[in-house]
Amino acid sequence: MDPLQSALILIAGVGAGTINAAVGSGTLITFPTLLAFGVPPVVANVSNTIGLVPGSLAGAWGYRRELSGQRGRILRLGVAALIGGAVGGILLLVLPPGAFEAIVPVLIGLGVVLVITGPRISRWVATRHGDLPDDPSTSSGHRGRSERWWVWPAIAMLGVYGGYFGAAQGVLMIAIIGIGVAETLQRLNGLKNVLVAITNGISGLIFALVADVDWKIVALIAVGATIGGLLGARIGRRLPPNVLRGVIVVVGITALVAFLMG
């Protein structure tokens, strides 16, 4: 790997970390970059997953103010993300390459739809059950355990996908918790960063122990993603809820188009 390629991978890591902290789908920057430089797909996938973990942690740190009061929720949903990420990481190592490719565009498209319709669905749920705020983007967010029963298994299932590949994982995560958790969108974004870090962290640990990892790539992406994670948190925290939702939708649609044309 020549110095120019190393520099470009570092820059891609900064971009991925920034996007992951603010929205999600940073993998769509780093993974294609690695493939373009001739890195084998599985090596690129596992090296990218490990490298992006510090960026997710940096993004979570940047959102630490919004994470205040969510310790119990983080512990509950973190277990789901941990289990799912471990299963997904193992599946990557035992299933044929490309086994999930057909469903990736469907998941991304569903995530975009859910982000768009999330507030309306939440209002409908509140009307039927009377125990969630009218709109998660305007609630105070300090009501203890206020997530729907289906959020835990949904996060676990998403963790499987995230551990396996994880492109647009952040978009899908926001779609799920945006509908099922009574919190402001900014606080949900902070929660998303923690859960993605847990998913990637456990799958990355599995990869580090048993998979073929390019540690130079890991180091370059990790440094870049950490810088980007802190930058993305600063940007994301300043965006109004409707603007943030719009950015999520644009990134999700871009990811969908990239997969369909790839």
Q: Please report the pLDDT score of residue 121 as a whole number.
A: 65
Q: What is the DSSP letter of 69?
A: T
pLDDT greater than 90 at residue 230: yes
CA pair distance 139, 129, nearest whole angstrom: 16
CA pair distance 79, 132, nearest whole angstrom: 23
**Domain extent for 194:** 3-261
Is pTM beyond 0.75? Reply is yes
pLDDT greater than 70 at residue 39: yes
- How confident is the model over 211-226, as pLDDT tens digits? 999 999 999 999 999 9
pLDDT band at 259 (very low <50, low <70, confident <90, very high): low
Count of domains forming the chain:
1
- The residue type found at 84 is G
